[in-house]
Structure 1
Amino acid sequence: MGDLVPSNSSLQLAHAAEVANQIAAQGTFNQYRARLSTHTLRAQDADFVRWSRYLEAMGMENSHVAWNEDPRHWKHVSWGLIEGFLQWQSNAGYSLATIARSLATIRAYCTHATRAGVIAPEAMALIQTIHSPHPDSRAGRNKDAQRPTTRRGAKKANPTRISREQARRLRDNHPDTPVGRRDALLMCLLLDHGLRSSEVADLQVTDLDLAQGVLRFYRRKVHMTQTHRLSRATLRAAQRYVEAGDAPANGILLRTIAKPYSQKLGGPINAVAIGGLVRRLGVRIGLYRLSPHDCRHFWATRAAAAGTDPIALQEAGGWNDLTMPRIYIERAAIANARVQLGADLDE
């Protein structure tokens, strides 16, 4: 039997397959990022800034490359390098949540770089063995307790607690000015409805139906549209904001100030600006490091304490599952409510 020689058609197919793989490899990051929300992309890009600073501290030249664009930059990334990144962040005082998220980001791009043929499967197998403890796990709590440095990162380990009186002041104590009326509506949406900052930033003028007293809005994080019946305070604040002419004729509902220290409203406000505004409003009443998420935490805790069932809380809060609602409800429960001790010792 003679030697088997590949036919021209087989060679052409092999060449075409290789070219197709190269094209797909170059576009793998773009395809992956196209599926992500703006919030996730922003968080990942922040992880890459820290990743570049870590590599720079390790003595790597040209560490500030487009890690989110070209798989070829990942060729020499190893499990040891990633382990070092996690330890570097821990030493710098970043929160466990931030460290865990950065690991998820790095692993995701390593996975796509492996698909692109840049990282060897054996190297990727070792990268997959890297773990970072969840902040609420026993290992996470132990690790957090051993760290001497102050926590850094976008998320705090624990929410800033808001009392009912502080919530009332945050919601109701605002001057009758364009900025004051905007701030009142903003805090009502955060404290009475538990909206995320991105959801507030996305609100359109047409989402408000003052005649029906409802708000129809889109939750981009979970890709759903919901309707909330406005609380009395929110309806009152929305009416004042609209009737005073503070709301634009169309487009984004809430607006930023026209210039520093101005009482005039300008263009649309974004989620970052909302975070800064909430922090300043908190300082005004003695609450430091207050965030929009703290307001959402207050809303969910209040609802759970009032007896809201998990499914109703999940739907109203826009969660994909019952995990978070159950946590809030379990925290609100009296742990020894069903414990029977019999007669009192004094009897």
Structure 2
Amino acid sequence: MSRKKTASHLSDQKAAALLPLAQPVLVGVVRERQGTPPAPEEEGTGEGLGALAGEDLDLLRRIADMADLYAQHEVFARYHRRQAHNTRIRQLWDLKAFATFCLEAGARATGVSLQTDVATLTQALFLEASTWRFVSAGLIQLFLSWMERQGYAIDTMNVRLSTLKRYCRLAADAGVLSQEELYRISRVQGYRHKEGRQIDRQRAITRRGAKKAEPNLLTEEQAAWLKGCHDLSTPQGRRARVILCLLLDLGLRVGELVALQVKDVRLSRGLLRFYREKVDKEQTHRLSADCLQALRAYLPDVASERYLFPGYKGRHISARLVEYLLKDLGDQLGIDHLSPHDCRHYWATYHASRQRNLAQLQQAGGWNSPAMVLRYYVASEIANEGLFPSPGPED
């Protein structure tokens, strides 16, 4: 094959590879061009070659325009494919709050209600880069002020600001936002911890919703009661005991707990192997004596099931069901809004107070960074330990 034919063959291959990327309208453009017969004056003349090159250049420009539109959409889609399900859900809630603010602000500024609704604007912000053309640094700054007046927690405000900045960077990558505007947006600052405390002192409402500002601190006696208070004559009671033992003794996240499968339990070896989505890894944990005892009584109940805690139509139980269970048990103990995370907090604090190896505790807890683990160490230590003699027995 000659060099000229080889180059032509490679060009055809590249063109064929490009076509599936674009939408059907692009294929229509190419077919339209391929089906256009040459003008009579172009046949056999040197002038025809110049005219044909001009038409090809125009076609290539049209292809490039279509590719730009496709790339705009693909920037968001590619980002979403790389994110965990829970991350996408959390970002949707963040964007819903931003959409709510934008519609309220638009109605106040213009005196006219926008035709779109919150759900439609939220979906557009989540899926379409072109929607972000109207976003500016000033608008995001006003959104922060709006959340402050609405009484959102400082951490919530910071997380939502981070989400908006992320989507603005994606929009800039898609060519929707200018680099100058992106720089201005990047300069919008959230709240440091000390600043947040000052703001909370000056506003009447500091949190929205039922989520607690601080976790409930469980004692060892309360943890023991939570593991042993169940009616073991019923499948529900045996299931509840396993749930509490795994939460309190292994520090599982509620999402990790409900996704456990029967095959993950290796009872003969006293091990539990499971996937941690937050750090994207599988881990094997040794089961505590309480966990082993609870599982021996419970596993016959789910011997034919896929999930350790089966739910409706072959699925596992929801995290909300576990939250309801903890809330009911907390009410019996006089603890307001006891949650699965309170159990994880108890597990981490218990081991941090006993000066466990930091790297081992980080791995067992499924954290990517030791920063979170250090918070438990700091919270459990006595700041002036060693400055005074220990009290005697008579004290």
**TM-score normalised by L of structure 1:** 0.86
- Alignment partner, residue 220 of structure 1: 277
8 Å contact kept, 2:249–2:291? yes
Deviation per CA, 1:47-76: give whole Å up to 9, x if none.
Answer: 122222222322252142212111122211
From 205, 221, 225, give the equivalent of 1:149. 205
**Distance in 1 between the 2:314 and 2:79 partners?**
35
**Distance in 2 between the 1:48 and 1:69 partners?**
11
Unaligned runs of 5+ in 2: 1-52, 108-112, 390-395
From 235, 238, 250, give the equivalent of 2:292. 235
Higher Rg of the two aligned structures: 2
Deviation per CA, 1:212-253: give whole Å up to 9, x if none.
Answer: 11100110000011111111111111111113x1x2524221
**Does 1:269 pair with 2:310?**
no
**Does 1:48 pair with 2:95?**
yes
**TM-score normalised by L of structure 2:** 0.76
8 Å contact kept, 1:171–1:187? yes
- Alignment partner, residue 4 of structure 1: none
Deviates more, 1:181-190 or 1:271-280: 271-280
8 Å contact kept, 1:98–1:153? no
8 Å contact kept, 2:261–2:308? yes
From 206, 212, 235, give the equivalent of 2:263. 206
Deviation per CA, 1:238-274: give whole Å up to 9, x if none.
Answer: 111113x1x2524221134x7xxxxxx9852122332
Residue type at the aligned position of 1:333: E
- Alignment partner, residue 118 of structure 1: 176
Residue type at the aligned position of 1:282: G
Query: CA 1:17–1:339 in structure 2 vs 1: closer, same or farther (change >3 Å)?
Result: farther
Identity, % of aligned pairs?
37
Residue type at the aligned position of 2:101: Y
Deviation per CA, 1:141-181: give whole Å up to 9, x if none.
Answer: 22233221141257532111212222112221111211111
**Distance in 2 between the 1:100 and 1:155 partners?**
16
- Alignment partner, residue 3 of structure 1: none
- Alignment partner, residue 139 of structure 1: 195
Q: Which has the higher contact order (CA 8 A, sep 6+)?
A: 1
Query: CA 1:150–1:340 in structure 2 vs 1: closer, same or farther (change >3 Å)?
Result: closer
- Alignment partner, residue 80 of structure 1: 138
Query: How many residues end up aligned between the 2 structures?
Result: 325
Query: CA 1:315–1:301 in structure 2 vs 1: closer, same or farther (change >3 Å)?
Result: same
- Alignment partner, residue 345 of structure 1: none
8 Å contact kept, 2:258–2:309? yes
Deviation at 1:124, TM superposition (A): 1.6
How big is the alpha-carbon RMSD for the aligned residues of Structure 1 and Structure 2?
Answer: 2.3
- Alignment partner, residue 96 of structure 1: 154
From 262, 278, 291, give the equivalent of 2:339. 291
**Distance in 1 between the 2:92 and 2:320 partners?**
15
Deviates more, 1:222-231 or 1:271-280: 271-280
**Distance in 1 between the 2:128 and 2:325 partners?**
36
Residue type at the aligned position of 1:185: V
- Pairing of 1:304-319 with structure 2 (within 5 A): 304-319=352-367
Q: What SS does the aligned partner of 1:211 have? A: helix
**Distance in 1 between the 2:372 and 2:159 partners?**
18
Deviation per CA, 1:95-117: give whole Å up to 9, x if none.
Answer: 11111111111111111112222
From 374, 380, 390, give the equivalent of 1:326. 374
Deviation per CA, 1:23-53: give whole Å up to 9, x if none.
Answer: 1101221111111111111111111222222
Query: CA 1:224–1:153 in structure 2 vs 1: closer, same or farther (change >3 Å)?
Result: farther
Going by fraction, where is helix more abundant, 1 or 2?
2
Deviation at 1:339, TM superposition (A): 3.5
Q: What SS does the aligned partner of 1:255 have? A: coil
**Distance in 2 between the 1:70 and 1:218 partners?**
32
**Distance in 2 between the 1:192 and 1:40 partners?**
27
Q: What SS does the aligned partner of 1:268 have? A: coil
**Does 1:57 pair with 2:104?**
yes
